[in-house]
């Protein structure tokens, strides 16, 4: 199989049944541009034909082509496919992809009972989708998570976020536009923000329970990551970083200093960090951030001082030169 075919199969793996794939650029509109691209008619025509054939074999229906844009829609289930699918993958867990090579096979549709049923479960329109029970949970696919525990998790995070907003009334405003949740779990923190003025990158640690599919079913955005490694983003990207239980999770895997330094790299000056964890772990973290010139304050759990879980709130300050007392050019 050629590389393009493998890439399309990877697109098919991550594309929801009924979802759309938009191709903009070569070889679309080759009749107009083939000379500019310095390619022959036969070459670019064959390239588009190969894409069309593979898309059809993947059970995508071409819905539109005009100018430089073509749009395909993936069928909602395998029963609605008119052609036999290409080689199907044998993997029992299509979500298990961390540090795995792409395979030249198609990820099978989830099973359905009728031709009109959406494979994997139908989703409500946003914003109702944000709090509706995700199909993966309703179908019992996520271990140890039920519809009832999902509802309880949502209530808990509404309570936590309300406590954060009492500490910092700017949370949910444009002051903190770019937000990251370093241990997103079911996406409860992002959902509870309920602010069109902020967006949240939900990170699911590779050592945690695999809940990334739930996050996407809620209409949120997310990614896998191992926090013992650097995060693929520019310096000074995020305005607010939230970490729940992250340092307890990683304290035996890698140095807490390394995680905090990476947080410092991706956090904007005057950005805020909210770390929720056990008090013993937070005492270690607080000692480290003091040397990083973060202004940090430990506060009690919203249920009172007897709860062993505490909250560390820190602000990344502008670094000031001791020689001339001028602000550094970090921005």
Q: Is the pLDDT of residue 329 over 50?
A: no
Per-residue DSSP letters for 56-106? HHTTEEEEEEETTEEEEEE-SSGGG-SS--SPBP--S-TT--TT----SSB
Bridge partners, residue 72, by sequence: 21, 62
Going by pLDDT thresholds of 50, 70 and 90, the confidence category of residue 4 is: low
Going by pLDDT thresholds of 50, 70 and 90, the confidence category of residue 86 is: low
Q: Quote the pLDDT of residue 102.
A: 83
Domain ranges of the chain: 3-80, 128-316
Bridge partners, residue 296, by sequence: 314
Q: Quote the pLDDT of residue 327.
A: 42
Q: Is the pLDDT of residue 326 over 80?
A: no
Q: Is the pLDDT of residue 85 over 80?
A: no
Tell me the per-residue pLDDT of 261-291, one tens digit each, with 9 for 90 and over: 999 999 999 999 999 999 999 999 999 998 8
Bridge partners, residue 240, by sequence: 179, 272
Q: Are 275 and 312 in contact (CB under 8 A)?
A: yes
Q: Quote the pLDDT of residue 34.
A: 82
Cα–Cα distance, 31 to 309 (Å, whole number): 64
Select from 239, 201, 205, 192 the least CA-distant residue to 221.
Answer: 201
Cα–Cα distance, 30 to 25 (Å, whole number): 9
Tell me the per-residue pLDDT of 195-229, one tens digit each, with 9 for 90 and over: 899 999 999 999 999 999 999 999 999 999 999 99
Q: Quote the pLDDT of residue 285.
A: 96
Select from 306, 284, 309, 280 the least CA-distant residue to 296.
Answer: 284
Tell me the per-residue pLDDT of 21-60, one tens digit each, with 9 for 90 and over: 999 988 988 888 788 888 888 888 888 899 999 999 899 9
Decide: residue 93, CB within 10 A, 0-12 exposed, 13-18 middle, 19+ buried.
exposed
Going by pLDDT thresholds of 50, 70 and 90, the confidence category of residue 135 is: very high
Q: Quote the pLDDT of residue 1.
A: 53
Q: Are 83 and 57 in contact (CB under 8 A)?
A: yes
Average pLDDT, the chain: 90
pTM over 0.75: yes
Q: Which residue has the higher pLDDT, 173 or 102?
A: 173
Per-residue DSSP letters for 98-125? TT----SSBPPPPP-SSTTSPTT---PP
Length of the chain: 331
Q: Are 77 and 59 in contact (CB under 8 A)?
A: no
**Which tokens is 276 given?**
């929720």
Q: Homologous superfamily of 128-316 in CATH? A: Vaccinia Virus protein VP39 (3.40.50.150)
């Amino acid at each position: 199989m050629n590389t393009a075919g493998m890439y399309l199969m990877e697109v098919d793996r991550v594309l929801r049944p009924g979802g759309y794939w938009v191709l903009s650029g070569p070889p679309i509109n080759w009749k107009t541009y083939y000379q500019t691209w310095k390619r022959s008619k036969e070459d670019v025509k064959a390239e588009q034909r190969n894409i069309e054939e593979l898309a059809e074999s993947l059970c995508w229906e071409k819905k539109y082509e005009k100018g430089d844009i073509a749009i395909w829609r993936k069928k909602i289930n395998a029963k609605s496919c008119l052609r036999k699918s290409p080689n199907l993958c044998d993997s029992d867990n299509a979500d298990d992809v961390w540090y795995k090579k792409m395979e030249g096979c198609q990820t099978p549709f989830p099973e359905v009972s009728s031709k009109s049923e959406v494979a994997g479960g139908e989703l409500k329109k946003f914003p109702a989708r944000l709090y509706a029970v995700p199909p993966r949970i309703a179908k019992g696919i996520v271990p140890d998570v039920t519809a009832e525990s999902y509802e309880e998790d949502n209530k808990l995070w509404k309570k936590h976020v309300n406590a954060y907003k009492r500490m910092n009334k700017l949370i949910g405003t444009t002051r903190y536009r770019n937000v990251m949740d370093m241990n997103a779990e079911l996406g409860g923190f992002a959902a509870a923000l309920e602010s069109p003025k902020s967006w949240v990158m939900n990170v699911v640690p590779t050592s945690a329970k695999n809940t990334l599919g739930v996050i996407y079913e809620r209409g949120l955005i997310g990614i896998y990551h191992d926090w013992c490694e650097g995060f693929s983003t520019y310096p000074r990207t995020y305005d607010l970083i939230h970490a729940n239980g992250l340092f307890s999770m990683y304290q035996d895997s890698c140095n807490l200093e390394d995680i905090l330094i990476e947080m410092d790299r991706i956090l904007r000056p005057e950005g805020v960090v909210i770390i929720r964890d056990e008090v013993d772990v937070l005492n270690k973290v607080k000692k480290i951030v003091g040397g990083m010139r973060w202004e940090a304050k430990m506060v009690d759990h919203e249920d009172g001082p007897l709860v062993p879980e505490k909250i560390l709130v820190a602000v990344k300050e502008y670094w000031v030169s001791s020689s001339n007392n001028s602000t550094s050019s970090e921005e």
